[in-house]
Amino acid sequence: MKMIKLFVKVNLLLLAIMLMQALPILAQENPTLSDPEVAHVAVVANQIDISYAEIAKKRSKNKAVLKFAETMANDHNAVIDQAAALAEKLGVTPKDNAVSQQLLADAEKTRKTLEASSRKAFDKTYIDNEVAYHKAVIAAVKGLLIPETENAELKELLQNVMPALETHLKHAEKVQKEFEGK
C-alpha cells in the first residue's frame, strides 16, 4: 500500500512540474519534497543552466550570446556555492529525488538538441531555451521549492535567488530579440 501511495505522489509531482509553466498555482498543493530534496533540486537546476552555458561557449560566435552564457555560468555557480555553504552549515546532505531526475532527463534532451543544431541556428536555439528554462525555473522555485521548504534559511536563500532569475529572464529576452524572425 505504502509503495503505491508514494508512486502516486511522485506522479502528481511530475504532473505538477509539467503544468507549472501554465498554472503555477497547482504546484502549491504538493507537499512532497523534504528540505534535502529541495536543496538537491536547486543545485541540479543551477548545474543544468551551467551545462547549457558551456555548450554556448563552445559553439557560439555571437558576442551578446557569449556574454550572456558567461554570466549564466558565473551566477549559477555563485548560487551553488551559497547553497553548498548553507547545506554544510545546516548539516543537510542534498538528496536525489524524482524531480531532480526529471530535470536531468529533460536537460539531456535539450543538450542533444543544442549539440545537433546547425551553427547558423545555434544562437537562437540556445537563447530560446534560456528564456523557456528560466520561466520554468522561476515557476518551480516560486510554486514548488519555496512552499515546500521548512527551514527558514533555505527558504530565504531561494527567495534571494528569485531576483537573479528574473533578471536572467529579462536579459535572455533582450538577446532573443536580436534573433527574431531568423
Partner 1 sequence: MKFFPDSLAVNKGDTVRFVNKDLVVHDVTEELKQTWTSSPLSTGKSWDLVITQNVAYFCSLHVVMKGKIVVKR
The mark string for 143-172 relative to partner 1 (x by CB under 8 A, - otherwise) is -----------------x--xx-xxx-xx-
Nearer to partner 1, 10 or 164 (CB): 164
Half-sphere exposure of residue 162: CA atoms within 13 angstroms, side-chain side: 14
Q: Which amino acid appears at position 146 of this protein?
A: I
Of the chain, the end-to-end C-alpha distance in Å amounts to 54
Place of cell 543552466: 49
Nearer to partner 1, 96 or 166 (CB): 166
Residue 79 interacts with partner 1 (CB under 8 A)?
Answer: yes
Residues 6+ apart with CB under 8 A from 179: 123, 124, 127, 128
Residue 80 interacts with partner 1 (CB under 8 A)?
Answer: no
Nearer to partner 1, 112 or 174 (CB): 174
Residue 174 interacts with partner 1 (CB under 8 A)?
Answer: yes
Nearer to partner 1, 81 or 108 (CB): 81
Q: How far is the CB of 99 from partner 1 (least distance, A)?
A: 24
C-alpha to C-alpha distance for 153 and 166, rounded to whole angstroms: 21
Residue 138 interacts with partner 1 (CB under 8 A)?
Answer: no
C-alpha to C-alpha distance for 15 and 18, rounded to whole angstroms: 5
Question: Grid coordinates in use for 27?
Answer: 504546484
Count of Cβ atoms closer than 10 Å to residue 20 Cβ = 22
Residue 87 interacts with partner 1 (CB under 8 A)?
Answer: no
Residue 75 interacts with partner 1 (CB under 8 A)?
Answer: yes
What residues make contact with partner 1 under the rule CB under 8 A?
67, 70-71, 74-75, 78-79, 82, 160, 163-164, 166-168, 170-171, 174
